[in-house]
């Protein structure tokens, strides 16, 4: 009798690669805070800081802390100014004098600092952004400004990566976008497991960078080049 041989892992036909879920354009085409949106007053925000000082065991009335609530609220106005800025306005001016340029444009090592939405603690690092334009290009500094707008909001690194890529893809409509972000999270390095120096990498690819492995590899090679 012939032995019956069963395949442990039967071969399955390859399934088409799923495309990433699309973001709601309202996330990146307009400011996150509407003019008519109800918000606490500055006095209420400063009182909240006083409450936190009392919670940790401090005396908010001692000399060194008298101006702390005001300073904290002013710092928040700066750290979270991205809620009041419009990403689409940053990318809406383009230039057509490219002399037929048909390769991708890469801006590497865009430094940023953001705040994690889970613990409201900083994460910081570098963003690397490339796009393959169709006839028109955007000013190079605009990619850095776009990164800062999204970074100055509470979120995760994954969401930050997806937002930057989606905004460029939707507004500039290039042949493809590549975004790679590397960052250290203080919620992991100075609390919890306290692993200083641990880096988190996230990426998002659209168009030719998603569909052409050679283009994706060329982008990664330039980002990780020997001159870094």
Catalytic residues: 116-119, 157, 185, 187
User: Do the beta carbons of residue 91 and residue 140 sit within 8 Å?
Assistant: no
- Return the number of other C-beta atoms located less than 10 Å from residue 165's C-beta: 27
173: phi then psi, degrees, rounded to nearest 5 = 50, 55
Task: State how far the Cα of 160 lies from the Cα of 123, in Å rounded to an integer.
Answer: 11
**DSSP notation for 12-38:** -PPPPPPPPPPPPGGGTSS-SS-TT--
- Give, in degrees to the nearest 5, the angle at Cα 98 between 143 and 94: 40
């Amino acid at each position: 009798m012939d032995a019956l041989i069963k395949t442990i892992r039967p071969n399955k036909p390859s399934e088409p690669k799923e495309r990433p879920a699309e973001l709601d354009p309202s996330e990146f085409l307009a400011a996150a805070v509407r003019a008519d949106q109800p918000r606490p007053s500055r006095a209420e925000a400063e009182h909240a800081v006083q409450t936190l000082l009392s919670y940790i065991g401090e005396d908010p009335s001692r000399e060194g802390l008298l101006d702390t609530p005001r300073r904290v609220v002013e710092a928040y106005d700066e750290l979270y100014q991205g809620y009041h800025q419009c990403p689409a306005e940053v990318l809406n001016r383009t230039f057509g004098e490219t002399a037929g340029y048909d390769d991708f444009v890469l801006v590497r090592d865009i430094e940023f600092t953001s705040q994690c939405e889970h613990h409201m603690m900083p994460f910081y690092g570098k963003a690397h952004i490339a796009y393959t334009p169709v006839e028109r290009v955007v000013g190079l500094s605009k990619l850095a400004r776009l990164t800062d707008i999204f970074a100055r909001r509470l979120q995760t690194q994954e969401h930050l990566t997806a937002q930057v890529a989606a905004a460029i893809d939707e507004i500039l409509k290039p042949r493809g976008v590549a975004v790679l972000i590397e960052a250290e999270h203080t919620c992991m390095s100075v609390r919890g497991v306290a692993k200083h120096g641990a880096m988190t990498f996230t990426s998002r690819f659209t168009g030719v960078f998603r569909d052409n492995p050679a283009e994706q590899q060329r982008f990664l090679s330039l980002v990780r080049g020997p001159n870094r």
